[in-house]
Amino acid sequence: MEILVVEDNELLLKAIEFRLKKEGYTIITARDGKEAMDRISRSMPDMIITDIMIPFFSGLEIVSVVRSKFLSRIPIIVLSRVGSEKTILEAFELGADDFITKPFSPNELCMRIKKLLIPQLRSY
């Protein structure tokens, strides 16, 4: 399973990448919205994990484009330090499947990924 992780904090990006590779996932990384959109348009991953506050395109714009332009139902998890109800609701209204407020536990992230990917594994 291939997961695109979009995060501009290099240390957090490397930590997520290390943990998810340890779980057996193939990880593609992007440090901003433009790089993420380039990677998505070339090859749709099995899941997207994106921060909201990233350069060029926000994580919410990525969710919106994946759902409307690519018409893809792949799981999307949004990460953010901004845990306001308004932001969370906007993420879900745009089509996010899950929202995790930073800081978060790597174990929690792994469990949420597994929960979202189980239905996809059944369809293969």
66-96, pLDDT tens digit by residue?
999 888 889 999 999 987 899 999 999 999 9
Check pLDDT > 70 for residue 122: no
Q: What is the pTM of this model?
A: 0.93
Q: What is d(CA 53, CA 116) in angstroms, rounded to the nearest whole number?
A: 23
Q: What is d(CA 112, CA 36) in angstroms, rounded to the nearest whole number?
A: 21
Q: What is d(CA 95, CA 87) in angstroms, rounded to the nearest whole number?
A: 13
> Do 97 and 116 form a contact (C-beta atoms < 8 A)?
yes
> Do 58 and 94 form a contact (C-beta atoms < 8 A)?
no
Check pLDDT > 80 for residue 60: yes
Tell me phi and psi for residue 81, to 5 degrees.
-80, -20
> Do 59 and 80 form a contact (C-beta atoms < 8 A)?
yes
CATH number at residue 104: 3.40.50.2300
Domain count across the chain = 1
For residue 84, the tally of other CB atoms under 10 A from its CB is: 10
**Structural domain that includes position 88:** 2-122
